[in-house]
Amino acid sequence: MTDSPLFEIHRETCIKCYSCVRICPVKAIKVEVNNEFPLIISSRCIGCGSCYKACSPGAISYRSSIQETKDLIASGEKVAAICDPAISGEFHDITDYRKFVQMIRNLGFTFVTEVSFGVDLVAREYKGLLEDFKGKYHIMANCPAVVFFIEKYYPELISNLAPLVSPMLATAKVIHQRYGQDVKVVAIGPCIAAKDEALKFDGDGKIDSVLTFAELRQLFTEFNIRESHLEFSEFDSPLGNRGSLYPISNGILQAVDISENLLSGNIITTEGRNNMLNAVKEIDTRIDLIRHHFNIFYDDGCLMGPGTSHGGEKFLRHTLVTDYANKRLNSLDKDAWEKDLLEFSAIDLSRSYTADDQRLPQPSEEKIADVLGMIKRGDQADNKIGCESCGYDNCRDFAVAIAQGLATTDMCQIFSGRNRQEYIKTLRNTNETLARTQEALRLSEETAKREKESQAETSVLISSMLQQLVSGVVIVDENLRILHANKAFIRILGEEAAMVDEVIPGLEGADLKSLLPVHFYKIFSFVLSSDESVERKDVQYQEGMLNVSVFPLRSKKFVGGIIRDMYMPEVYKEQIITRMNEVIDQNFDMVQKIAFLLGEGAAKTEQMLNAIIESHKSQNKK
């Protein structure tokens, strides 16, 4: 048998409703802050199966024994099936238990027996233990979930657990004694915790696999085994007597007439999750006043165990169990039964228990107060109250679980509801702000669109104006690639540039270095690297003279150039006037000095120069 985790939560199916967290009696399922999926803590689990039954989407599964059982049967060794008498309540769709026995045989089992004889043996031991009262009150140890609960959460009560094996283990001992120690044993029953219980025993009490009733149904379906195809078959010996009543909680007491008289009896039977929890708690704190032994089952008897089919009706199953017991008793060979009791009376049915304390340290009062304040329960005078929707009895216990890392604040529906309302309010305010922002953005986009259209129109106008200039204009990037050039620039460069223009309109993207000689484009390179303008520089180009001004437009990114053909009449006359003015300006100081030395002679020289200028101006006007 494997010791892998008994239960597993499948994330692909889990809807994070936390029903499993709320129902777990020992809080063995935690929800971490950074992990929204619940997580089963195997070491804390008692195998009760409450989480499995409470999970409506079916996201929780338990450790399957189907393949393990098929492997045992296929091994060629003798394999015995020991069936819990709760089969009568589970398989109500099978008309006769003898057909049920044959269905199991058809799976390949060598022997098929019933646990009811093991119940008879254990019940007889209990009768002797309880009647031989020596001052200590006992807790009957037939339900493995109850045993695990005490070992892990009330280890101080281990000495009160009756030192007797369960009927399942007792039956395994019987099988090994009668049919051989080499026989493999597969237990079939309604209990999931029995899978872990079986792991604790070896030797003559060894059980090799544990199938639930639900798993047995799957095997019947897989191998197409149907009642209508089969004949009757009886259980292998030894057969049980009133042990068939075991699925009902007090059935083991009635199996050997342990008194349940309310006035004279000294044992209390209780069943169900909450009753079990309260019973163990009161045994721990009030046994000196209660002064009774306890017969406790986690579920409403074995007939409602978690390994049965979902949706079972308790009282229908109760009736089916008693009807089955009556039918078995009417046909029971009492002499053979007495003989079997005598044969197996020497079997050792004793057992011991091991403390496995899983209780967590109690958080400090300061930490608990902080958590209560966090969930808005810190102002309550008494936090021993609560709605219990989180799965804890009161707000304080819930706060303790949060402090221990077993729960999160989101599990509190009141706190989560308040947060949702605050979230909705915040979301509404956010939506309103977003709407205003969207309207402002829309207006901004319209403004930007108008500005873009205006800029485009302006760009077209500027481009048109540049095309009308007599001077050549060119703009280049840092790689000396032409971004814009007007017609005058293309005309000034000559036929080669005109041919390029036919292929690349406006020379856009053309390499300036391929169009100009080195001494010419070096001026653009200089302005790009130095960020300094070059103004009115005369450059020899082909057979003419160009006047070039280059200036930075964006630092080390773009530069612009203005080129004028000095041989054009308009430019030529303008340049003569400009240059003559420059001569006058540049030599003004020298003229003053000459005038100082030569007197009126200097003045006449100035008049002569001015006359030349005026002559050219008048000619230009004509």
**DSSP per-residue codes, 190-205:** S-STHHHHGGG--GGG
570 or 488: whose pLDDT is higher?
A: 488
405 versus 127: the higher-pLDDT residue is 127
Higher pLDDT, 143 or 447: 143
Contact present, 271 and 299 (Cβ < 8 Å): yes
Between 224 and 367, whose confidence is greater? 224
Residue 349: pLDDT over 90: yes
pLDDT tens digits along 284-337: 999 999 999 999 999 998 999 999 998 889 999 999 999 999 998 999 999 999
pLDDT at 450: 81
Give the model's confidence band at 381: pLDDT under 50 very low, under 70 low, under 90 confident, else very high.
very low
Phi-psi region of 476 (alpha: psi -120 to 50; beta: other; left: phi over 0): beta
More confident residue, 59 or 588: 59
Alpha helices in 404-544 (DSSP H): 413-468, 487-493, 495-503, 518-530
Do the bridges between strand 29-32 and strand 184-189 make them parallel or antiparallel, or are there none, so unpaired? unpaired
Residue type for position 47: G
Quick one: pLDDT at residue 605? 45
Closest to 482 measured CA to CA, from 452, 514, 513, 510: 510
Instruction: Tell me what percent of the chain is helix, strand and coil, each rounded to the nearest 5.
Output: 50, 15, 35
Domain boundaries, the chain: 64-343, 365-408, 412-459, 469-567, 577-621
Residue type, 195: K
- The DSSP H or E segment spanning 41 is none
Instruction: Look at residues 612, 604, 537, 607 and name the one whose alpha carbon lies nearest to residue 580.
Output: 612
Query: What is the DSSP-derived secondary structure letter of residue 156?
Result: G
pLDDT of residue 591: 44
Banded model confidence at residue 498, pLDDT cuts 50, 70, 90: confident
* Matching residue, tokens 């280049």: 476
Least confident of 50-54, 401-405, 616-620: 616-620
Does 426 score more than 80 pLDDT?
A: no
**Banded model confidence at residue 431, pLDDT cuts 50, 70, 90:** confident
Q: Does residue 393 have a pLDDT over 60?
A: yes
441 pLDDT band, cuts 50/70/90, is confident
Angle, CA 78 vertex, CA 76 and CA 83 arms, to 5° = 125
The pLDDT assigned to 439 comes to 83
Compute the average pLDDT of residues 444-473. Answer: 75
534 pLDDT more than 80: yes
Q: Which residue has the higher pLDDT, 493 or 620?
A: 493
Average pLDDT over residues 153-159: 97
Q: Are 438 and 411 spatial neighbours (Cβ–Cβ below 8 Å)? A: no
The pLDDT value given to residue 467: 76
Task: Please state which of the ranges 184-198, 266-280, 365-379 shows the lowest mean pLDDT.
Answer: 365-379
Give the CATH H-level superfamily of domain 469-567.
PAS domain (3.30.450.20)
- Out of 230-244, 512-526, 544-558, give the one with best mean pLDDT: 230-244
The residues that bridge with 204 in the sheet, in sequence order, are none
Average pLDDT for residues 348-368, to the nearest whole number?
90
Q: Which residue has the higher pLDDT, 99 or 604?
A: 99
Computed over every residue of the chain, the mean pLDDT equals 85
Distance CA 325, CA 275 (A): 27
How many whole angstroms separate alpha carbon 377 and alpha carbon 371?
8
**Which residue type, as a one-letter code, is found at position 248?**
I
